[in-house]
Amino acid sequence: MLADPAMVPPVALLVYASDDPARAAFWPFAVYSPEYQAACWAVRNGAAVRFIDVPAAWGLASGDEPASEPEAEPSDAAEAPVDEIAVRLERDPIGLLAEAGGYQDGESWWRDVIEESPASDAVFAAVADAMAALRDAAPPAEGREALREAHMRLEIAKAAKEQEGVVAVVCGAWHEPALKAKVPLSQDRDLLKSAPKQKTSATWAPWTSPRLAFQSGYAAGVTAPGWCGHLWETPREEVTVRWLGRIVQALREAGHIASTASLIEAQRLAVALAAMRDRPHPGFEELREAAIACLCHGERLVWETIAAKLLLGDAVGEISPDVPLAPLIEDLQREQRRTRLKPEALERELAIDLRSEGGLDRSTLLHRLLILGVPWGRQVDAGRSRGTFRERWQLRWEPEFVVRLVENLVYGPTLARAAAGRLTAHFAEAADLPALCGLTLSALTAQLPDAAHAGVERIEHRVALTSDCGELLSSLAPLGDIVRYGQARRTDAVQLETLFVRILSQGALALPYAVRGLDAEAAKLLRSALLAADAAAVLAEADLTDWRAALSTVVEDEQAAPLLAGVAARLLYEAGTIMPEAAADLLGRMLSPGRAVADAAGFFEGFFDGAGERLIYDPGLRAAVDRWMQELEAEDFTAFLPLFRRALGNLDRMQRRRLLDAVFGRGGAGLQGRAAAADAEAIWPAHFQRLTDILTARPAQ
């Protein structure tokens, strides 16, 4: 199947325990994988080919962890004083050889001496000798190693019996002496008898070349799949030049200037470096350093912008259509059975009670699918029912969802892991705090604690780096949601709470600087962030001392945008930090004739916008406004009129009535009616006339 022409590497063999797909392992194959080439050759030449390593089932059954090769050995060095060489022999035999040859690490030695060496026959024999010597010095293979080798020997013997002619074995050099060794078949069989068994399913999955890289978590991976592919494709004499050529091309595509002359210089420098390090020809490191020095003007960053594409490649494999079913779909079917949710092509409404176990499971499943880009269910009242115990969904299944699930296979073999993987990938792309908070919230709703944790970490990181006050503040509202939401579902909110407090204090530190020198547009944006943040902070019952202190600074700051100063003053007034008398003084000072009308207007708007209702219930405030209005010159009063109208315009008819009642002391039961001033009759008619005009939205006369 591997050699099927419809299969385009990189692809991976995916084996998972049938009853628990989370215990799965991938075996990726690239074009230059020896196994792939062997299989292709075998198919072309009509030879039989088979895997001789132990069946994957054993690895999966033996460990709870999904086994991948090579398995990590317990760190015995720490526990017992084992002979250091012996330990290293087991872990890194090539490294020892390399050290003997004067290299720093095994990888580069292996490349120089073996893979890039022109005379391969002699080298193979030498490697076999060296390995035999190393194996003699190392303790005999134990456990899984021994099992693997026994199994390989048995399979080779079987193949030799069944087939005529030579049997070629493709294996790691380390196993070579063991496979040659003459061990009675019965002994091997005995060894294998005790092997644990596990029912498994296998399928092929398209792989991507970045995931062949060691850094992506594939333990047997290579550091630079792109370089390996390049070595495989390019004739030996042209490796250096062509590689540099590809670098130059990538640089040019990225918009840098890279001349042919520089390419020549890079080539010369690489050769000089190789000579200085006694290498037969420039290796990967020499070429990289030469490219940085000559082509990227010494800027490692420039190199890194092109490195990912060059080193990791962006190839995506394809699988032929006749492969067995993918695990995500199987997992979905299992989940559907468990939660008793049937896929139906027609739309159907579903109400879920989150308090019951079954309801929570269903909701979790739907949320996870949403994260995976499979909108089986659409939340009808999305955003409103958060934090309550009821969710309403519209369900409809579309056939193409299957395809989308298979696409998500790269993120993980089960719905939970794939959703977590996909979210993590989104975290990396999310540009700003509010987006990150949203993603984290969805991780929490979908019961993906790991992803949520990762999200919180990203938020933390981002928070530390940002100095944009608006961004900090606008992240508080969704974060506050998450903090409160933590109680509806079983989530661990402690970390979030600390984070919330931290953002709040950081926002408080940044606020006094952020409110300076803003134009009207920017001030408005910041105002909504400020209001949302304050609401969230109050709801979250956080410690508000610093926050309030920052607000007072804003109020006192001469350079602060007046709109924001007004908002801050109102918030403080509502919180009771500014007493009504002080508020009156403040209003008087801020709106005093000495200030530019536009500034005063800004302050007034900030203070009263959306708070007209306050005037009805708050006699102290009303008195303050009243006093200030009475002191206004007629001209100024006219100038302020549009402002009053804007501030009070959103009161409805009923509220206006009550405001008027309050003003004239006709107080109803709920109002602490204030005795009208003695000369009210004399003063008020004019004001009243104007006020009515304002309130009924007729232009002032």
Partner 1 sequence: MTDILRLPAETTYAAELEALKRKDDAPTPRGWALSPKAVVTYLMGGKAADGTPISAKYVGDRRLIETAVATLATDRALLLLGVPGTAKSWVSEHLAAGICGDSSLVIQCTAGTDENQIRYGWNYAQLLANGPSREALVPTPLYRAMETGKLCRLEELTRMGSDVQDTLITVLSEKMMPIPELNDAVYARRGFNLIATANNRDKGVNELSSALKRRFNVVVLPLPDDMDEEIAIVTRRVGEMALSLDLPAPKNVAEEVARVVSIFRELRGGSTIDGKVTLKTPSGSLSTAEAIAVTVGGLSQAAHFDGGKLNAEGLAPSLLGAIVKDPVQDKIVLEEYLEAVLKKRPDYAGYYRALVDLV
Residue written as token pair 């008398």: 581
Residue 282 sits at φ, ψ, to 5 deg, of -60, 130
- Rule CB under 8 A: choose which of 20, 71, 145, 289 binds partner 1: 289
CB closer to partner 1 out of 2 and 290: 290
CB closer to partner 1 out of 257 and 675: 257
CB closer to partner 1 out of 240 and 408: 240
Tell me: does residue 465 bind partner 1 (CB under 8 A): yes
The rounded distance, in Å, linking the Cα atoms of 177 and 302 is: 46
- Rule CB under 8 A: choose which of 12, 15, 247, 294 binds partner 1: 294
- Rule CB under 8 A: choose which of 460, 497, 585, 661 binds partner 1: 460
Sole window of 147-155, 163-171, 320-328, 508-516 interacting with partner 1 (rule: CB under 8 A): 508-516
645 near 694, Cβ under 8 Å? yes
What tokens were used for 441?
A: 């919230």
Tell me: does residue 464 bind partner 1 (CB under 8 A): yes
Tell me: does residue 265 bind partner 1 (CB under 8 A): yes
Binders of partner 1 among residues 512 to 551 (CB under 8 A) are 513
Burial of 162 (0-12, 13-18, 19+ CB in 10 A): exposed
132 near 177, Cβ under 8 Å? yes
Q: How many CB atoms lie within 10 A of CB 407?
A: 17
- Rule CB under 8 A: choose which of 11, 61, 290, 456 binds partner 1: 290
392 near 381, Cβ under 8 Å? yes
CB closer to partner 1 out of 300 and 698: 300
CB closer to partner 1 out of 292 and 691: 292
Sole window of 283-291, 357-365, 639-647, 655-663 interacting with partner 1 (rule: CB under 8 A): 283-291
Sole window of 52-60, 194-202, 259-267, 522-530 interacting with partner 1 (rule: CB under 8 A): 259-267
The rounded distance, in Å, linking the Cα atoms of 315 and 309 is: 10
Q: Please, which contacts does 231-239 make with residues 24 or more away whose CB atoms are closer than 8 Å?
A: 231/32, 231/115, 231/116, 232/31, 232/32, 236/116, 236/118, 239/116, 239/281
Tell me: does residue 257 bind partner 1 (CB under 8 A): yes
- To partner 1, the closest distance from the beta carbon of 519 in angstroms equals 20
Tell me: does residue 596 bind partner 1 (CB under 8 A): no
Q: What number of chain residues touch partner 1 (CB under 8 A)?
A: 32
Distances (CA, A) of 496 to 219, 484, 538, 540, 675: 33, 10, 16, 11, 51
- To partner 1, the closest distance from the beta carbon of 503 in angstroms equals 12
DSSP codes, 61-124? HH-SSPP-SSPPPP-HHHHS---HHHHHHHH-HHHHHHHHTT-SSHHHHHIIIIIT-S-HHHHH
Tell me: does residue 348 bind partner 1 (CB under 8 A): no
- Rule CB under 8 A: choose which of 252, 268, 390, 666 binds partner 1: 268
623 near 587, Cβ under 8 Å? no
Sole window of 87-95, 262-270, 399-407, 486-494 interacting with partner 1 (rule: CB under 8 A): 262-270
- To partner 1, the closest distance from the beta carbon of 454 in angstroms equals 15
- To partner 1, the closest distance from the beta carbon of 300 in angstroms equals 7
Residue 24 sits at φ, ψ, to 5 deg, of -135, 160
- To partner 1, the closest distance from the beta carbon of 522 in angstroms equals 18
Give the length of the chain. 701
β partners of residue 560: 516
State the DSSP H helix or E strand holding residue 287, giving kind and residue range, or none if neither.
helix 284-290
Sole window of 105-113, 254-262, 573-581, 602-610 interacting with partner 1 (rule: CB under 8 A): 254-262
Longest alpha-carbon distance in the chain: 122
Name the residue among 675, 619, 611, 618 with its Cα closest to residue 649.
611
Name the residue among 586, 545, 536 with its Cα closest to residue 562.
586
Tell me: does residue 297 bind partner 1 (CB under 8 A): yes
Tell me: does residue 48 bind partner 1 (CB under 8 A): no
- Rule CB under 8 A: choose which of 42, 192, 293, 522 binds partner 1: 293
The rounded distance, in Å, linking the Cα atoms of 313 and 224 is: 9
Tell me: does residue 276 bind partner 1 (CB under 8 A): yes
Tell me: does residue 430 bind partner 1 (CB under 8 A): no
Give the 3-state DSSP-derived string for 652-685, with helices as H, strands as E and coil as C: CHHHHHHHHHHHCCCCCCCCCCCCCCCCHHHHHH
Sole window of 297-305, 340-348, 617-625, 632-640 interacting with partner 1 (rule: CB under 8 A): 297-305
Tell me: does residue 269 bind partner 1 (CB under 8 A): yes
Sole window of 195-203, 287-295, 639-647, 692-700 interacting with partner 1 (rule: CB under 8 A): 287-295
- Rule CB under 8 A: choose which of 157, 171, 509, 575 binds partner 1: 509
- To partner 1, the closest distance from the beta carbon of 268 in angstroms equals 5
- Interaction site with partner 1 (CB under 8 A): 257, 259, 261-262, 265, 268-269, 272-273, 276-277, 285, 289-290, 292-294, 296-300, 460-461, 463-465, 467, 506, 509-510, 513
